[in-house]
Structure 1
Amino acid sequence: MISHQERIIVVQSNITQLQVDAVVNAANSSLLGGGGVDGAIHRAAGSELLTECRKLNGCKTGNAKITKGYKLPAKWIIHTVGPVWQGGNHNEDELLASCYLRSLELATEYEIKTIAFPAISTGAYRFPMERAAKIAVTETSKFLKSNNSLEQVIFVTFGQEAYDCYLKVIQMNE
């Protein structure tokens, strides 16, 4: 059996082009598209995604909802709304941890085997990268220890700094 640490990898890539069962979208609460990863996923998936998202009535911070992947290589898109960084005293850590947990729970519910996460909340929402990476890796590792349905979790980074940060956090977690 593969250990939970070996089921986690980091890549520097374009999340919209990955051959995985599901990609996670760092969405805003409307789920109707935006900038960064959210905009890229909406553009790559096509207009049908927006049509489906309009029927979901948004999503609360820390929660997640699932749609089809449409024109993406991924069959599913899990939309999660990360917290806006406000200095760390407004439950940002707990809300971000909840994004990962809810996304992983949905993945299990939909029998997803491979999932790719962006660095949720680290772009326009300004969550500090290393702190966000620690939360992402910790929550994912904890989940994988008690759940064998997921075969691989990929953290997809944009840029060398984020890539190096995730690798460092994963090595510290081993």
Structure 2
Amino acid sequence: MITTMKGNLTGLDFDIIVDPNDETLTADVNSVSRKIFREAGYEMSMHCRNLDGCAVGHAKMTLGFRLPSLAVIHMAVPHYIDGEHNEDIYLEACYWNTMCMAYEFMEHNHMEKVHIAFPDLPTYPYHFPREEACRIAVDAVNRIQREYPDTQAVQVSFICDDEQSYLVYKKELRSR
């Protein structure tokens, strides 16, 4: 199941939330990451320093620390240049790798299902066109769940900070 809603990602009670970060996995990348790191507390920053970064298109997991979520998956999001540098492929890989980690988390913790919350990808500093980033995200999750039916136990929500993003995700999900 894939849904969208407006809200503050860090205040919602999901099993896993996703941090759209860069290769450094630091809190200074964008407003969503800053909120996640601030609410999680200094332990997350310390833990991420020990992860030694993350390649673009890949993801790494930490505990949720002081967040209501059990875990945070930090995905290293590509920067959009002009659409001619495989940005879409790297972004899709972020969703594939994050969904795989969520499924493994569910299996490892003997859960029947897991609910993961992705933020709408911040257009700054990544510069992805909003509609394209949304389409890539929804396409990736749909394809993963279609090709690997067991991953349907991973319930996905896209959490939007603003009305414009919410309407873009709502429209994209309704078109399916």
TM-score for both structures, normalised by structure 2: 0.91
Q: Percent identity?
A: 34
The secondary structure found in structure 1 opposite 2:35 is helix
Instruction: Count residues in correspondence.
Output: 167
Checking the alignment, whether the CA contact within 8 Å between 1:45 and 1:71 is kept in structure 2 is: yes
The secondary structure found in structure 2 opposite 1:124 is helix
- The corresponding residue for 2:17 is 23
- The corresponding residue for 1:154 is 157
Hey, what's the Cα distance between the residues in 1 that align with 2:11 and 2:149? 26
- The corresponding residue for 2:175 is 172
- The corresponding residue for 1:3 is none
Hey, what's the Cα distance between the residues in 1 that align with 2:26 and 2:136? 26
TM-score for both structures, normalised by structure 1: 0.92
Hey, what's the Cα distance between the residues in 2 that align with 1:18 and 1:76? 13
Specify whether residues 92 and 121 from structure 1 end up closer, same or farther in structure 2 by C-alpha distance, changes over 3 A only: farther
- The corresponding residue for 2:82 is 87
Query: Match for 1:130: what amino acid?
Result: E
Structure 1: state its 5+ residue gaps: 1-6
Query: What is the CA deviation profile of residues 31-50 of structure 1, one whole-angstrom value per residue up to 9, with x for unaligned ones?
Result: 12113111110000000001
Checking the alignment, whether the CA contact within 8 Å between 1:83 and 1:121 is kept in structure 2 is: no
**1:98 matched to 2:93:** yes
- The corresponding residue for 1:138 is 139
How many Å apart are 1:122 and its aligned residue? Answer: 2.5
The structure carrying a bigger helix percent of its residues is: 2
How many Å apart are 1:103 and its aligned residue? Answer: 0.3
Query: What is the CA deviation profile of residues 134-169 of structure 1, one whole-angstrom value per residue up to 9, with x for unaligned ones?
Result: 110010011122233434100011111100001111
Hey, what's the Cα distance between the residues in 2 that align with 1:58 and 1:147? 31
- For the aligned residue pairs, the C-alpha RMSD in angstroms reads 1.2
